[in-house]
Structure 1
Amino acid sequence: MSTFEDPDAVARYLEGPVARVPGLAALHRMTELLLAEAVPDDGHVLVLGAGGGLELKAFATARPSWRLLGVDPSAPMLRLAERTMGALSPRATLVEGTIDAAPAGPFDGATCLLTLHFLSPEQRLSTLRALWRRLRPGAPLVVAHHSFDSGEPEATRWLRRYAAFASPTGRVEPGDEASIAAIRERLPVIAPDDEVRLLAQAGFDRIELFYAGFTFRGWVALRP
């Protein structure tokens, strides 16, 4: 069973990003501001990987006129998104599936936060191209996820820093070593330079780094 289908894991999910992603609330705020540079007051925004609902809630709170569409392959995670949004949940239309399940658009902006690091480079490129096709010209895409060089000893050093940040003690505990190994083995993480190349290959330009927090990086890019 996938972590995102496990009821217990889903119930605990919201604890994870807040504890493990440096400056998560600020990341959501920066993402909203970057979108707002091009998304009109009544704009339509596509949120890929919307399960959990944290960014949907942030966007709906800050921009009450935006129309939001959230896409996620996990039905339990979408139900969690509804609970997270609470009274704001009518502001978002939720779709179960991958990017291929999303309407054709065109959307005024899109986000994909803490999601692309689960995909192989080939799947990532396909997803980025599908996002590009659903955006109007001039629309922004904001992405953020694990991205670091895979060479040693650099990769292990940065993963240990990430683990220390996520630890309540601020230290890498014995049990954290398994989590570090799991990231190395299970996530097809690629280097920042390769991330930029994939965005460009998918058709995006004006690609700018706006966020860096230990092993995480975030970029904003435009569809020409």
Structure 2
Amino acid sequence: MTADITDGARQFIRAFSDPEFVARYTDGPRRFVPGLDGLHRMTAILLAERAPKHAKVLVLGAGGGLELSALADAHPSWTFVGVDPSPQMLQLAERTLGARMSRVDLIEGTIDDAPAGPFDAATCLLTLHFLPAPERLRTVRAVHDRLRPGASFVVAHGCLPREPSERALWLDRYAAYAVASGVAAEQAISMRATIEASTNMLSPDEDGAVLRDGGFRDSRPFFSALTWHGWVGHAGSENLA
């Protein structure tokens, strides 16, 4: 990993390095993210729209291995580079992938540690909301610069509106879904409070603007499930570095 790691990456590593958290992670996202399996299937379809048969795909925030496993199953001829700053989460990804690891190269680090490419497609799921807006934009631009022209980029993460009463309603729905999915009420309330206190959460409109400013001029929403939103865009020919 690069020695000059950002504050956002430090926070990410701390959150995803606790052994008990990592041990529970495989089932966790499905209890907080409505339609996670469908999101993975849609991601595989959207990336394939422009990817060649033997595509090389960049997966940013690959710890845990859930989307890597789904993409590898959907497209047996694809190979992957998965990047994540947490070594514990990368170890979990390796266990989750099993025999599929023969097509995956896992890298500990941030986007700065990813190969230059060019990649045929890229994805970043349930990750960008950990980064403050300036770092998020820099990361999106760095992904753009690693893609071949026209390649698809799929992102999905948490968003919250700016208006206080609407924001509170979205957060209440987030917690209610978690409880309905089997999460203890105390844990759901704690997670709600953590998200409410985060200064990194952007509105859906602001997140869409980050992608456009990062070079994905044609980015369009494709997924919306309570607090979770997803976009797909395609790399232009210009280098934004």
Cα distance between partner residues in 2 of 1:18 and 1:78? 19
- Cα pair 1:164 1:171 within 8 Å, conserved: no
Q: Are 1:167 and 2:179 counterparts?
A: yes
Distance 2:199 2:223 in 1: 20
- Residue aligned with 1:80, SS: helix
Corresponding letter in the other structure for 1:121: A
Which position in structure 2 is the counterpart of 1:108?
120
Q: Secondary structure at the match of 2:218?
A: strand
Q: What 5-or-longer segments of structure 1 have no aligned partner?
A: none
Tell me the CA shift for residue 205 of structure 1: 1.8
Could you say which residue in structure 2 is the equivalent of 1:137?
Answer: 149
Change (3 A) 1:7 1:23: same
> Following TM superposition, where does structure 1 have runs of at least 4 consecutive aligned residues deviating by more than 6 angstroms?
169-172
Name the counterpart of 1:30.
42
The structure-2 alpha-carbon separation of the partners of 1:204 and 1:9, relative to structure 1 and needing over 3 Å to count, comes to same
Provide the TM-score with structure 2 as the length reference.
0.89
Q: Check conservation: 2:64, 2:92, Cα contact below 8 A.
A: yes
Q: CA deviation at 1:172?
A: 9.2
Change (3 A) 1:91 1:154: same
**Deviation per residue, 1:126-165 (Å, 9 max, x gap):** 0000001000000010000001213211111111111111
**Partner Cα distance (1:223, 1:112) in 2:** 14
C-alpha separation between the residues in 1 aligned to 2:95 and 2:87?
13
Does residue 98 (structure 1) correspond to residue 110 (structure 2)? The answer is: yes
Cα distance change of structure 1 residues 87 and 192 upon mapping to structure 2, 3 Å threshold:
same
Q: Which residue of 2 aligns with 1:89?
A: 101
Change (3 A) 1:43 1:159: same
Counterpart among 54, 74, 77 of residue 86 in structure 2: 74
**2:47 is equivalent to residue 16 of structure 1:** no
Q: Kindly indicate whether residue 219 of structure 2 is the aligned counterpart of residue 214 of structure 1.
A: no
Alpha-carbon distance in 1 for matches of 2:231, 2:145:
18
Q: Could you tell me whether the CA contact under 8 Å between 2:62 and 2:93 is conserved in 1? A: yes
Q: Deviations over 1:151-184 (max 9, x none)?
A: 2111111111111111147899455333211101
What residue in structure 2 maps to residue 122 of structure 1? 134
Mark the CA change 1:187 to 1:86 in structure 2 (over 3 Å): closer, same or farther.
Answer: farther
Whole-Å Cα distance in 2 between the matches of residues 78 and 175 of structure 1? 25
**CA distance 1:153–1:171, change in 2 (3 Å):** farther
Whichever residue aligns with residue 25 of structure 1, its letter is D
CA RMSD between the two structures: 1.6
8 Å CA contact 2:31, 2:181 repeated in 1: no
Q: Which residue of 1 aligns with 2:6?
A: none
Structure 2 unaligned residues grouped into runs of 5+? 1-12, 237-241
Count of residues in correspondence between the two structures: 224
Distance 1:66 1:173, change over 3 A: same
Instruction: Choose from 42, 66, 70 the match for 1:58.
Output: 70
For the residue of structure 1 that corresponds to 2:115, the secondary structure is coil
Identity of aligned residues (%): 51
